[in-house]
Structure 1
Amino acid sequence: MELAGLAMLALAALLLLVTGLPAYAVLIAASLAAVAVGLPMGAVDLGLMTALPGRVVGLLENDLLQALPLYVLMGALLNRLPLADTLFRAGVALLGRGPAGPLVAAIGLGALLAPMNGSVAASVTTLSRVVQPNLLKRGVPAGRGLAVVCVASTLGVVVPPSLVLILLGDAMMRAHTEAVNATGHMVRIVNTQDMFRGALVPAALFLALCLALAWWLGRRPVYRASTGPALEPERPLGLAGWATAGATVAFVGGLLAAVAAGRLYAVEAAATGAAALPCFGLVSGKLDRATLDAVLRDTMATTGALFALFVGATTFTLVFRAFGTDRLLADLVAGLPGGPAGALVGVLGMIGLTAFVLDAFEIVFVVIPVLMPPLLMRVPDAAWVSVLTLLALQVSFLIPPFGYAVMMVRGTLGGSVVMRDLIRSLSPFLAIQALVLGTTLLAPALVHLADPEEAAAPSALSEQDALDRMRSMVPAPDDD
């Protein structure tokens, strides 16, 4: 019955594609269907299923999850208040009225807002509403603008300390613990802060290359604003607008940097932002009753969907393991040819395929707990594996025509998307992604450049080394 778990995965993927139901509903439905079949056949232990409530409660007691609704609230406030539009206009004005300014400003805005939106779908919605009309108004061709929206919406996957990184850090810690217990190696368990430090250099490299590419593409004559519709007169920001943009960048950027550097916990930074942004809205007069209602509805809807997905994924993985399919996948990963490198590439390919139908959160909750433990038994550097997973996800989200971000843009903007133009415009950004992914794959040290000296890349300890270290921690008895 080990194959029943794979049938569950296939059923869940089919239901997601055909029905359009929320992922948590699909995961729970697939789990219930599998249990209904497995119980009469004796393949599923009823006693194991009675442990589900305690398992859910135990997972929800994680302090890290307190940051989720606070981050979502920050993202909703930035989206509903006119801050995103102000930031974009300030970026364009700061870069001058040249043709490259709007593209560079759009990438920068995505880097600032996407980590708090977390979800690719939420980022696509925000950037499509704020950025795409402004790009068209400034004469940027539609295909180029849509490609920039797609790329900017995925920056929340790799730029720390995003919601995706926070949740992936927790999932990788559990997977690494499981792998260490199975192998018996004495290694330091990876944590969320390791994810932040590991993603810093690859994310900074990718962001810098995207900004440079956007600037270069904007300077090319075919993409200049003069080739598009006539530019409308730009309303000046004024002193208040510049002050708002500068304060927002300093505040949000400072919070994100403090969390990524380990100066603040994610919960502390999220609570600070969730308290400061409403105060700004009230003082500036931009947060009225209607806007506050919309912000709270968005926050509750997104947070509820995340926690429902969390419960659905916990149910799904429990049933999946009840059939013993996790052992089947462990044997499959262990049998992949090419040694640890072959296993790593194979698992990254599997995760990339799931990204065609699942969002980042769904992959973290459902796929990572299943595939990562057997992989980490062969590749012990969990931080390196985590960063490669993020980069592989981002690449998959942007591969047309089935990439998740591409499909979300098409769904949001409908018939205005010309796939041929979008593919041509996305190609150079995909080349940059492939370059960063390949560089990180070939140079694991890139992930550990930001590590403190005492937290170098993990390595296994022999039993004798572990005993020697334990003896060194015990004070020697006095000769008296």
Structure 2
Amino acid sequence: MSIEVVTILLFGGLMTLLVLGVPVAFALGGITVVLTYLLEGSTSLFIVATTTYKQITDPNLITIPLFLLMGNFLLHSGISDRMFKALGFWLTGIKGGLAIVSIGVCVSLAMCGGFGPGILTMGLIAVPAMLKQSYNKSLALGSVMAGGVLGEIIPPSIIMILFAYIARVSIGKLFLAGVVPGLITAFGYILYVSIRCRLQPEFAPPVKETVTWTLRLSSLKDILLPAFLIVLVLGSIFFGIATPTEAAGVGATGAFVICALLKKMSWKVLWDSCKQTMTISGMVFWILIGATLFSVFYTSQGAQSLVTELVSSLEINRWIVLGAMQLILLVLGMFMDDYAVVTICAPIFVPIAKILGFDPIWFSIIFILNMQVAYLTPPFGWALIMMKGVAPSEITTRDIWKSIPPFVGIQLIVLIMVMIFPQLALWLTYKMM
């Protein structure tokens, strides 16, 4: 059977299963197993078993549960609440200070535990605090959600790890490449909040609280612990002292110690943290297995030659092809979760980018920046769904959706900046490695 017909059957079947509501992991794996059996016979099914075994026994994949465990320990330690209050003391009197603090805490949590903890904890802590101070709803909700999704691009990001395995690129290089774009995005958020609150003071009334320097200095202890953990984990990766897997182990241990030092560790916290870690890890591993089976089967049928011939036959500027790929990702991100988009598109788009002469690490970063946008775009944006789950009862879905356009605009500006100036993603990578 020709590779063109296989492509139609494979992707047509996959999209049909996804539309029917089949989870992405089982849709990817299921259509691959069925076509392997129909096209190559039962004797070829051993590839399914060997590929699955190879994936689940890869020692490098321990990075995922370890980073998740680190994030869960920090979530239960209450460190985000302490950081929010401590940074709030230092930014008292600054217009939009609570929103800026929320973004800062989300950046710190992203560096400690990836996506999720920022939105969950700041949604429970910062949003009610800002609404109590008569902050504009859109500013309060948008700053927390936008800050939370920074965990997609700022290492250690779980989606980066998944992407690295699927696209066969270096996790360490991907982590390094995400730092500068992530910090630029955070700075863009803060700049927007500052300008908006200066032009429209009613958006963020000043906090009526007197804060002494003694209180500010004493609050530093609540900032130093997570800062030390961030330096320990990311610093060891960036300076080549430890591999990402080793750094993840150090991070999980450090988070456990912080939880114990703050007297939050208990058997219940330990059980809940491990349970949540295993639940998410299981989901990620199943997706990774399905994606690998899909990729192995499609490659064995001649996908590489099809892609090469297709791209070579296109007599258009390579930047138009790149722009088309980004547009496809933006549209898919509105209707599918980022794991599904990565597992379906990364094995196809990364080889195309290489054929076109683009740096694979740079392309990976703009891909992930695109997925960061997906988290904030309705109707499927995970950040919107998570915020609805933790926001005060008076917050409606309409309020949440109305809050995101300015922040999505900032994300798209950063995406375009990185496309135009690749060194924003590559400078630190090649400087450190």
Q: Normalising by the residue count of structure 2, what TM-score does the alignment of the two structures yield?
A: 0.85
2:249 is matched with which residue? 271
1:338 is matched with which residue? 316
**Aligned partner letter, 1:114:** A
2:25 is matched with which residue? 24
Supply the distance in 2 between the matched residues of 1:116 and 1:284 (Cα, whole angstroms).
17
Q: CA deviation at 1:14?
A: 0.8
Q: Any conservation in 2 of the 1:161–1:259 contact (CA below 8 Å)?
A: no
Q: CA deviation at 1:104?
A: 0.8
1:78 is matched with which residue? 74
1:225 is matched with which residue? 205
Q: CA deviation at 1:71?
A: 0.5
Supply the distance in 2 between the matched residues of 1:424 and 1:152 (Cα, whole angstroms).
16
Supply the distance in 1 between the matched residues of 2:122 and 2:315 (Cα, whole angstroms).
42
Query: 2:189 matched to 1:210?
Result: yes
**Aligned partner letter, 2:159:** V
Supply the distance in 1 between the matched residues of 2:107 and 2:294 (Cα, whole angstroms).
33
1:32-111 pair list within 5 angstroms: 34-35=34-35, 39=37, 42-111=38-107
SS in structure 2 at match of 1:285:
coil
Which runs of no fewer than 5 residues in structure 2 stay unpaired? none
Aligned CA RMSD, in angstroms, stands at: 3.3
Q: Any conservation in 1 of the 2:142–2:404 contact (CA below 8 Å)?
A: yes
Query: 2:124 matched to 1:129?
Result: yes
2:264 is matched with which residue? 286
1:5 is matched with which residue? 10
1:303-362 Cα shifts (integer Å, max 9, x gaps): 222222222323343455566667655555555553321222222222333322443344
Query: 2:133 matched to 1:138?
Result: yes
Q: CA deviation at 1:112?
A: 1.6
1:51-450 pair list within 5 angstroms: 51-119=47-115, 123-172=118-167, 174=168, 191-219=170-198, 220-225=200-205, 242-321=220-299, 331-336=309-314, 338-410=316-388, 413=391, 416-418=394-396, 421-450=399-428
1:183 is matched with which residue? none
Supply the distance in 2 between the matched residues of 1:299 and 1:52 (Cα, whole angstroms).
26
Supply the distance in 1 between the matched residues of 2:427 and 2:270 (Cα, whole angstroms).
42
**Cα pair distance change 1:171/1:155, threshold 3 Å:** same
Paired residue total:
425
SS in structure 1 at match of 2:156:
coil
Which runs of no fewer than 5 residues in structure 1 stay unpaired? 175-189, 456-480
Query: 2:15 matched to 1:15?
Result: no
Supply the distance in 1 between the matched residues of 2:101 and 2:108 (Cα, whole angstroms).
11
Supply the distance in 2 between the matched residues of 1:330 and 1:5 (Cα, whole angstroms).
19
Q: CA deviation at 1:197?
A: 3.0
Supply the distance in 2 between the matched residues of 1:362 and 1:408 (Cα, whole angstroms).
18
Supply the distance in 1 between the matched residues of 2:397 and 2:261 (Cα, whole angstroms).
44
**Cα pair distance change 1:248/1:288, threshold 3 Å:** same
Q: Any conservation in 2 of the 1:157–1:360 contact (CA below 8 Å)?
A: no
Supply the distance in 1 between the matched residues of 2:422 and 2:26 (Cα, whole angstroms).
38
**Aligned partner letter, 2:201:** P
Q: Any conservation in 1 of the 2:86–2:220 contact (CA below 8 Å)?
A: yes
**Cα pair distance change 1:453/1:211, threshold 3 Å:** closer
SS in structure 1 at match of 2:265:
coil
Q: CA deviation at 1:421?
A: 4.7
Q: CA deviation at 1:290?
A: 2.1
1:414-453 Cα shifts (integer Å, max 9, x gaps): 9744565545532322222222211221222333322446
Supply the distance in 1 between the matched residues of 2:202 and 2:378 (Cα, whole angstroms).
23
**Cα pair distance change 1:137/1:31, threshold 3 Å:** farther
Q: Any conservation in 1 of the 2:388–2:400 contact (CA below 8 Å)?
A: no
Supply the distance in 1 between the matched residues of 2:432 and 2:98 (Cα, whole angstroms).
43
Structure with larger Rg: 1
Aligned residues with identical type, % of pairs: 23
396-405 vs 238-247, which moves further? 238-247
Q: Any conservation in 1 of the 2:166–2:292 contact (CA below 8 Å)?
A: no
